[in-house]
Each structure stands twice: as structure tokens, then as C-alpha cells.
């Protein structure tokens, strides 16, 4: 019987995001493909260290153990490697006991056409071109930053999101950037009861909320997944956010309206496996304390 990826939370992750391949990336950039290929072949039995997305993937895969016989999460390696140079990746997956059996190895070709083919819900990579192309194609995607020192590895899965241009569209963010804070607040007051348009990560948040609401651990406890919204918004722009989540029938576990205050201290206290934000400045600060991914703005390719 054919295996279907429908109705699963499918994470597509590049090999460089799953494992620490920075030394290998340097070889590729400075010495070329042949040197990279030779290095990987000579070291294919050398286990790679965990990379920026490893903890999140490991935590999400644990969800499959909560519902025996019913998978909730699937992870697919999405790499521009060839099959010849990928054995080291698979050997490292086996070493860490990761339940990953599927891969798309494009041999240098763009990965975007294969995201829809594998029904990818979230794509994680350290290659900005691939992430931007994925966002442009409508797939929730993030460019990962290098791991902070002493990153936490909690049993409970924790994921934190920025609001505008991540969960919600960048409509209000554009008003703030182009017209300033007063115009932004006036717009949000006038539209407080009008739900915000969905952003690139809205469908992912809906999927996570579905898992929280419909599955329990074997002992009947709440699902071991916790979400947080950490947004630069504050009053009076808070109301539209609350009403939007209510309209979507989503309850985020923890919400922080920061009002422009640095998010890092709150993120360090929440300790997410990953924080998603759209602004590089916010991500740089956050990446010093928690695993972080930047969500690029969708580009209008018709222009």
C-alpha cells in the first residue's frame, strides 16, 4: 500500500540545517565541488554534530511515539547533494536514531519544485536562496541562524513566533515601516474587529493547534507542545491580534506584547526549540539565546 503524506506535519530540512556542515560548506565555497565530494567520501563514516534545526526535528519526531500506529510528523531531507555524497548524512541520521527515511537529493538543482511534491508544511535551511524561493511558492520557510552556546533541549516541544509577516501578513507591518507608529496604531484601532490576513506561518500554527486539541499522551495529559507569540505590538494594537486568533479558533499558550522591548530575555525564559521572526535585527539578538529562523518577505515575481 502506498504511503501518503497527506494530513501529516511534514518538515523539510536541508542537511546543513540538520547537521553542522559549516566546515564542509567552506570547502565547497573555497575549493569547489570536486574537493567537497572527495572530503565527504573520505569522511562518510565520521558522524556529524547536530546543526541548527536538529533539536526541533528530534523533538517533533517524538510525537509519533504518542500515537502508536498513527504517525503525526514526517521529516524529509531536502538537499542539493547528490546521492553519492549523501551517505554521511544518512549514517549520521542512523547514529542519532532519528526516524527519517525520506530524502530529496537534487544534485545541485533547485529544491522548490519538490516541496509541494512532498507536501512540505515547513522548510528549514541555511541557504537563503532556497528559503526565499520556498516562501515565494507559498511554503512556510525559514533561514536558520547558527545555534547559541548551551542551547536548551527540553522534553516539552516549544515553538515561538513573531506576529506580523510571520503568523499574520505583512500588511500592517508595511504601514508601520512606510508611515510610522501613529499611522500603524490608527489603522489597527480602525480595524480592531477585522481579522488580520494570514501570513506564511498561519497554516503551520493551525496544524500545531490541531495537534494540541486532538491528541493526548497515553495517560490523558495535555499534548506536550507549547506555543508562544512574541510580538513587538502593544496596546492599542493588541486587540486585533487577540480577535484574529479567536476567529481562527487558535489558542496560543503564551503571548507577549513587547511594545518594542528586546525579545531576547522573554525568549530565554520561554526556551523554544525554535523562534521565527521576519526581521534580521530581531533574529540576530534572539539567536544569541535560542535557536532562531528568519522568515523572508514574499517577493512579487511579477514585478
Given the residues 130, 162, 164, 277, the one annotated as active site: 162
Q: Alpha-carbon torsion 119, 206, 279, 269, what sign?
A: negative
The pTM of this model reads 0.90
Helix axes 171-179, 181-190, angle to 10 degrees: 140
Determine contact, residues 47/95, Cβ cutoff 8 Å: yes
Q: What is the pLDDT of residue 2?
A: 47
Q: What is the pLDDT of residue 4?
A: 52
Q: What is the pLDDT of residue 152?
A: 66
Q: Residue 151 — very low, low, confident or very high, per pLDDT cuts 50/70/90? A: low
For 51-74, what is the mean pLDDT? 88
Active site residue 99: no
Q: Residue 213 — very low, low, confident or very high, per pLDDT cuts 50/70/90? A: confident
Cα 139 to Cα 147: distance, rounded to the nearest angstrom: 23
pLDDT for 97 beyond 80: yes
Burial 156-169 (b: 16+ CB within 10 A, else e): ebbbbbbbbbbbbb
Vertex 255: Cα angle to 253 and 258 (nearest 5): 160
Render pLDDT for 1-39 as a digit per residue (tens, 0 to 9): 345 555 689 999 999 999 999 999 999 999 998 999 999
Q: What is the pLDDT of residue 303?
A: 46
Cα 194 to Cα 211: distance, rounded to the nearest angstrom: 27
Amino acid at each position: 500500500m502506498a504511503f501518503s503524506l497527506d494530513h501529516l506535519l511534514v518538515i523539510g530540512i536541508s542537511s546543513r540545517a540538520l547537521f553542522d556542515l559549516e566546515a564542509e560548506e567552506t570547502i565547497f565555497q573555497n575549493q569547489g565541488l570536486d574537493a567537497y565530494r572527495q572530503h565527504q567520501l573520505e569522511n562518510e563514516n565520521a558522524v556529524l554534530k547536530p546543526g541548527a534545526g536538529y533539536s526541533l526535528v528530534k523533538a517533533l519526531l517524538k510525537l509519533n511515539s504518542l500515537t502508536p500506529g498513527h504517525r503525526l510528523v514526517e521529516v524529509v531531507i531536502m538537499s542539493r547533494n547528490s546521492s553519492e555524497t549523501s551517505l554521511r548524512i544518512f549514517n549520521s541520521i542512523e547514529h542519532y536514531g532519528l526516524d527519517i527515511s525520506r530524502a530529496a537529493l537534487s544534485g545541485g538543482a533547485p529544491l522548490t519544485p519538490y516541496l509541494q511534491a512532498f507536501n512540505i508544511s515547513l522548510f528549514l535551511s541555511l541557504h537563503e536562496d532556497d528559503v526565499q524561493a520556498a516562501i515565494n511558492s507559498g511554503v512556510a520557510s525559514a533561514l536558520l541562524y547558527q545555534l547559541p552556546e548551551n542551547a536548551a533541549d527540553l522534553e516539552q516541544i516549544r515553538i515561538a513566533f513573531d506576529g506580523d509577516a510571520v503568523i499574520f501578513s505583512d500588511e500592517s507591518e508595511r504601514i508601520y515601516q512606510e508611515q510610522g507608529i501613529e499611522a500603524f496604531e490608527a489603522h489597527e484601532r480602525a480595524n480592531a474587529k477585522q481579522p488580520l490576513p494570514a501570513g506564511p506561518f498561519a497554516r503551520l500554527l493551525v496544524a500545531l493547534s490541531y495537534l494540541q486539541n486532538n491528541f493526548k499522551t497515553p495517560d490523558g495529559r495535555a499534548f506536550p507542545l507549547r506555543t508562544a507569540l512574541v510580538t513587538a505590538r502593544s496596546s492599542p494594537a493588541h486587540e486585533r491580534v487577540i480577535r484574529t486568533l479567536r476567529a481562527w479558533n487558535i489558542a496560543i499558550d503564551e503571548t507577549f506584547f513587547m511594545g518594542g522591548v528586546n525579545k531576547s530575555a522573554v525568549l530565554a525564559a520561554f526556551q523554544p526549540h525554535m523562534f521565527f521572526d521576519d526581521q534580521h535585527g530581531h533574529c540576530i539578538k534572539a539567536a544569541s539565546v535560542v535557536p532562531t529562523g528568519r522568515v523572508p518577505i514574499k517577493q512579487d515575481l511579477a514585478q
